[in-house]
Amino acid sequence: MTTYEVSTVVPEPRRPWDHSRSTLLRVAVLVTLSGVFGWVLNTVTGLSGFLGWYVGLAFAMPVVAFVGSVRHGWNMASDRVATAVITVAFAAVTIPWVSIFFTVYQKGSKAFHSKYLTDDMRVTPSSDIIQNGGVAHAIIGTLIMVLIASLIAVPLGILAAVYIVEIKGRFAKLVRFLTQAMSGVPSIVAGLFIYATVVVLFGGFSAWAGSLALVILMLPTVARTSEEILKIVPDDLRTASYALGATQSRTTFRVVLPTIASGLVTAAVLGIARVVGETAPLILTASYFVAKSTSLNEPIASLPIYIFSSLGLGDENATTRAWGGSLVLLGVVFILFAIARTLSTRLARK
Amino acid sequence: MFRGFVTSCALFSLVVLVMIAAFLLYRGFEIFSDFGIRFITTSKWDIGNPEDTSTAVLGIGAMLVGSVVTAFIAIVVAVPFAIASALFIEFYAPRLLRTILTSVLDLVAAIPSVIFGIWGYVILLPLVEDWSGTLYKYLNWFPLFDVQTPIFGRSPLLAGLLLSIMILPIVTSVAREVYGQAPRDLIDASYALGGTKWAGIRAVVLPFGKSGLVGGAMLGLGRAMGETVAVYLTLNLVFDINFQILASAGGNVASLIANKFGEATDYELKALMAAGLVLFLVTLLVNFFATVIVNRSRKIV
């Protein structure tokens, strides 16, 4: 009878998917060497500031990576160089993003004072000191126009998606194609079109005209997003509904659409985020106003136009106001995005 | 009844597109009949005697060239960076970072163009002015970087760079989407043969995503050509055909419309409508090809 010796030594668990210490060390050496090279270039040549340093680093990194790995052969070297190039290029892409968010926050917050969000520019010229005036009129105007635009564009967009996914009609391909084509219409052309029709025919700039221009730009986004979301509704739901004797319209409105209600809200929110900062079409349709106004038949203020017109003046206080408006606008876009993201993750969990 | 209702709503986009073309043509028709092809070949904007429209000389040649030059700079700069970003997000970033970056990409794509414009005007302008000086100093023997008077400021280079930052998210999203659909088993096969990550990317992912990338780049091109406010703020409107990208002179069709709209005469307004029609048709054409290419690359999968 043979006895087997049972080993009681349990091997140390290893995590081969983690970066080993030597890899981390290699990366650290690579980045440090390239950073030093960038710094040397920075001090020796005319490349100045953070960007100059980064340019030096970006060029040094692939070279250092190559020198460090070429002894392992060509394949390894090309892989290391590619990794360095891709990482450096991606990091370069994020520099303007960080700069935009940072600058808007830093310069925009200077325009804020206790009544900035509740006052308008009725009695304040843009060059006046910052403590006077505010953006309330622009916020109200933007809200009104975006609300009217969504009331028209969201149902139309959802119905276009319903046509493509539920009805699968003869023109389904055409409708999808046209929606995509429509998303490429330059915003100024949408403005020009509304100017040529609504503004000219109904006598003058108005909040109505502005909203209609936004409808053109909002519709494609809503239609595309709703289409993607409608596609995830399982066919079982539809067949079950038909089996109970429901018509197609009942199935669509009572079963399919309620199932993805939060997804449709996401579509609407993304559409709003797309148009809330549109400037060019509003120049041609809603024009410009300085006081709080809720009249739909007259020119109305909006956040993008507030930024644009303040910037055009060249005055220091006016420019600060433009940054303040940018901060508010960016904040609005942020909030809309947060809403869309929360709703769509909730839908995904379902 | 239900079908008819939904169908008519769905065809709303067709109605809008046709109406845009029809109304712009209707309002701008006089210009096309007065100038014909010269409207898009000459580059002069002179309303002459406001009482007498026959003295006017209006042509958007320089603006069309400007649109192409700025959009071209934007594409040339944005596409390599978009490829790198898409590869980084899809293949190099850890999973957590990847989900964050996809959201950030969507967010950046939604930053309003007026904010890009003000950032470009205040932050990017002095930087590009500085770089232009250096480029001019060392490379002025190259026709592209030559200027008559070394004043740089609001040049096609600045507008092009700003546009490249603006279109990067959309090109990256499309590229990321097609790269993500590259056949996983082929990449794994490349690993199994001892290939490196880059070998897999070069042999499988890049060839697979080529046509999708072209489509994404064209979508970006359409965006860049139709951009108004950012270009308005970062490019001096000058009616000369200008290929010297450092000179502070240029313009594109969209910024021309925004620029001249405020104090335009009736006749000039008609010319702006005609310019809008030209812009509409050009972007429609670019987007048409982009959509066809992107859709075809999706179908292969």
Q: What is the pLDDT of residues B174-222, one digit of tens each?
A: 899 889 888 889 999 998 998 889 999 999 999 988 888 998 899 899 9
Residue of B nearest to A218 (CA): B13
Å between A206 CA and nearest CA of chain B: 16
Specify whether A233 is located in the same domain as A88.
Answer: no
Query: For all residues of chain A together, what is the average pLDDT?
Result: 88
Å between B11 CA and nearest CA of chain A: 7
Q: Are A274 and B168 a contacting pair at CB < 8 A? A: no
In angstroms, rounded to a whole number, what is the distance separating the alpha carbons of residues B214 and B186?
Answer: 22
CA B99 vs CA A13, A287, B94, B106, B120: distances in Å = 29, 40, 9, 11, 28
In angstroms, rounded to a whole number, what is the distance separating the alpha carbons of residues A350 and A347?
Answer: 5
Q: Are B257 and A188 a contacting pair at CB < 8 A? A: yes
Task: Give the mean model confidence (pLDDT) for residues A230-245.
Answer: 91
The answer to whether residue A47 scores a pLDDT higher than 70 is no
Report the residue of B16, B95, B115 to disrupt the A interface, i.e. the one with the largest count of A CBs within 10 Å: B115
Burial of residue A345 (CB within 10 Å: 0-12, 13-18, 19+) is: exposed
Q: Are B258 and A280 a contacting pair at CB < 8 A? A: yes
Question: What residue numbers bound the domain in which A160 lies?
Answer: 136-349
Task: Give the mean model confidence (pLDDT) for residues A10-23.
Answer: 74
Task: Give the mean model confidence (pLDDT) for residues B248-263.
Answer: 87
Q: Domain for residue A129, yes or no?
A: no
| Torsion, CA A299, CA A305, CA A307, CA A309, rounded to 10 | -80
Of A48 and A127, the one with more pLDDT: A127
In angstroms, rounded to a whole number, what is the distance separating the alpha carbons of residues B131 and B143?
Answer: 17
Q: How confident is residue A105, by pLDDT bands cut at 50, 70 and 90?
A: very high
Chain A CB contacts of B219 below 8 Å: 184
Structure tokens at B229: 């406010």
Residue A61 near residue A86, CB atoms below 8 Å: no
Could you say which of B11, B110, B202 has the minimum Cβ distance to residue A274?
A: B110
Specify whether A311 is located in the same domain as A248.
Answer: yes
Percent of chain A's residues with pLDDT above 70: 96
pLDDT of residue A184: 87
Q: What is the CATH number of the domain that holds A148?
A: 1.10.3720.10
Q: How many domains does chain A have?
A: 2
In angstroms, rounded to a whole number, what is the distance separating the alpha carbons of residues B130 and B132?
Answer: 5
Sign of CA dihedral B170, A190, B243, B38: positive
Interface membership of B264 toward A (CB under 8 Å):
no
pLDDT of residue A2: 67
The answer to whether residue B301 scores a pLDDT higher than 60 is no
Q: Are A103 and B123 a contacting pair at CB < 8 A? A: yes
CA nearest A85: which of B202, B187, B192? Answer: B202
Specify whether A106 is located in the same domain as A145.
Answer: no
Chain A CB contacts of B110 below 8 Å: 273-274, 333, 337
Interface membership of B204 toward A (CB under 8 Å):
no
Specify whether A82 is located in the same domain as A207.
Answer: no
Interface membership of B43 toward A (CB under 8 Å):
no
Specify whether A91 is located in the same domain as A187.
Answer: no
Å between B170 CA and nearest CA of chain A: 12
Q: Domain for residue A11, yes or no?
A: no
Alpha carbon A29 to its chain centroid, in Å, reads: 36
Task: Give the mean model confidence (pLDDT) for residues B15-27.
Answer: 92
Residue A119 near residue A134, CB atoms below 8 Å: yes
Q: Are B85 and A90 a contacting pair at CB < 8 A? A: yes
By mean pLDDT, which of A20-29, A203-212, B156-165 is the weakest? Answer: A20-29
pLDDT of residue A132: 85
Task: Give the mean model confidence (pLDDT) for residues A116-129.
Answer: 84
Report the residue of A54, A93, A104 to disrupt the B interface, i.e. the one with the largest count of B CBs within 10 Å: A93
pTM of the model: 0.91
Q: Are A186 and B227 a contacting pair at CB < 8 A? A: yes
| 3-class SS of residue A8 | coil
Q: Say which residue the tokens 């493509």 belong to.
A: A164
* Side-chain-side CA neighbours of residue A334 (13 Å): 9
Q: Are A329 and B112 a contacting pair at CB < 8 A? A: yes
Q: How confident is residue B300, by pLDDT bands cut at 50, 70 and 90?
A: low
Interface membership of B212 toward A (CB under 8 Å):
no
Task: Give the mean model confidence (pLDDT) for residues A156-172.
Answer: 89
Task: Give the mean model confidence (pLDDT) for residues A202-212.
Answer: 90
Chain B CB contacts of A219 below 8 Å: 12-13, 16
Specify whether A102 is located in the same domain as A150.
Answer: no
Q: Are A196 and B24 a contacting pair at CB < 8 A? A: yes
| 3-class SS of residue A280 | helix
The answer to whether residue A93 scores a pLDDT higher than 80 is yes
Specify whether A148 is located in the same domain as A82.
Answer: no
Among A161-170, A326-335, B237-246, which range has the highest average pLDDT?
A326-335
Q: Are B280 and A307 a contacting pair at CB < 8 A? A: no
Residue A280 near residue A187, CB atoms below 8 Å: yes
pLDDT of residue B151: 77
Interface membership of B2 toward A (CB under 8 Å):
yes
Choose the final residue of a domain: A110, A127, A153.
A110
The answer to whether residue A156 scores a pLDDT higher than 90 is yes
Residue B209 near residue B120, CB atoms below 8 Å: no
Specify whether A200 is located in the same domain as A326.
Answer: yes
Q: Are B85 and A223 a contacting pair at CB < 8 A? A: no
Could you say which of A193, A219, A220 has the minimum Cβ distance to residue B20?
A: A193
Alpha carbon B73 to its chain centroid, in Å, reads: 9
By mean pLDDT, which of A54-68, A232-246, B73-87 is the weakest? Answer: A54-68
Give the residue extent of every domain in chain B: 64-300
Q: Which CATH class is domain B64-300?
A: mainly alpha
Chain A CB contacts of B201 below 8 Å: 82
Q: How confident is residue B280, by pLDDT bands cut at 50, 70 and 90?
A: very high
Specify whether A195 is located in the same domain as A307.
Answer: yes
pLDDT of residue B130: 84
Of A8 and A150, the one with more pLDDT: A150
Q: What is the 3-state secondary structure (H, E, C) of chain B?
A: CHHHHHHHHHCHHHHHHHHHHHHHHHHHHHHHHHHCCHHHHCCCEECCCCCCHHHCEECCHHHHHHHHHHHHHHHHHHHHHHHHHHHHHHHHCCHHHHHHHHHHHHHHHCCCHHHHHHHHHHHHHHHHHHHHHHHHHHHCCCHHHCCCCCCCCCCHHHHHHHHHHHHHHHHHHHHHHHHHCCCHHHHHHHHHCCCCHHHHHHHHHHHHCHHHHHHHHHHHHHHHHHCCHHHHHHCCECCCCCCCCCCCCECCHHHHHHHHHCCCCHHHHHHHHHHHHHHHHHHHHHHHHHHHHHHHHHHHC
Q: How confident is residue A46, by pLDDT bands cut at 50, 70 and 90?
A: low
pLDDT of residue A44: 75
Report the residue of A81, A105, A165, A189 to disrupt the B interface, i.e. the one with the largest count of B CBs within 10 Å: A189
In angstroms, rounded to a whole number, what is the distance separating the alpha carbons of residues B124 and A322?
Answer: 17
Q: Domain for residue A117, yes or no?
A: no
Could you say which of B7, B92, B113 has the minimum Cβ distance to residue A83?
A: B92
The backbone region for A315, taken as left when phi is positive above 0, alpha when psi lies in -120 to 50, beta otherwise, is beta
Specify whether A200 is located in the same domain as A278.
Answer: yes
**Residue A83 belongs to what H/E stretch?**
helix A74-108
Q: Are A279 and B229 a contacting pair at CB < 8 A? A: yes
In angstroms, rounded to a whole number, what is the distance separating the alpha carbons of residues A245 and A255?
Answer: 13
Å between B138 CA and nearest CA of chain A: 12
Could you say which of B196, B225, B280 has the minimum Cβ distance to residue A79?
A: B196
Structure tokens at A185: 């219409």
Interface membership of B222 toward A (CB under 8 Å):
yes
Å between B205 CA and nearest CA of chain A: 14
| 3-class SS of residue A301 | coil
Could you say which of B110, B225, B229 has the minimum Cβ distance to residue A280?
A: B229
pLDDT of residue A350: 65
Percent of chain B's residues with pLDDT above 70: 99
Specify whether A164 is located in the same domain as A76.
Answer: no
ipTM of the complex: 0.90
Could you say which of A96, A167, A181 has the minimum Cβ distance to residue B3?
A: A167
In angstroms, rounded to a whole number, what is the distance separating the alpha carbons of residues A91 and A150?
Answer: 37
Chain A CB contacts of B132 below 8 Å: none
pLDDT of residue B152: 81
Q: Are B24 and A189 a contacting pair at CB < 8 A? A: yes
Interface membership of B229 toward A (CB under 8 Å):
yes
pLDDT tens digit sequence for A272-290: 998 999 999 999 998 888 8
Residue of A nearest to B221 (CA): A184
The backbone region for A301, taken as left when phi is positive above 0, alpha when psi lies in -120 to 50, beta otherwise, is beta
Å between B130 CA and nearest CA of chain A: 10
Q: Are A192 and B19 a contacting pair at CB < 8 A? A: no
Specify whether A188 is located in the same domain as A306.
Answer: yes
